[in-house]
Amino acid sequence: MSDIIRGVKKKSIILVISLLIVLMEDQVATIYSFGTSAVYVSDVKMIKDKQRIREGKFQVILMSSEALFSGTTWKHILSPISLGKTR
């Protein structure tokens, strides 16, 4: 959506840091209802969609701070270089 407004031909990914898993689940369902692809990642739910995230299949990624800042897995997956290589 933001790419359409900005007139950019590439897809952007919106990363949202959230503290509550239940809230993330609800937000993903709401985002999908508007026709936008979304997924959530938490330390509890180690997502089976890592490859789909790498491929840029989701426009919105909701993530717990624990998942983002614990280790380097998600930092690497979400880096522009990593995302750019798979497209």
Q: Which of 28, 20, 17 is nearest to 58 (CA)?
A: 28
Q: Kindly report, residue by residue over 19-54, the tens digit of the pLDDT.
A: 888 899 999 999 999 999 999 887 655 667 787 888
Decide: 15 and 61 in contact? Cβ < 8 Å.
yes
Give the long-range contacts of residues 37-43, CB within 8 A, separation 24 or more: 38/62, 41/67, 41/74, 42/66, 42/67, 43/67, 43/70
pTM, two decimals, is 0.72
Look up residue 35 and give its DSSP letter.
T
Domains of the chain, first to last: 2-85 (3.40.50.300)
Tell me the average pLDDT across 64-75: 78
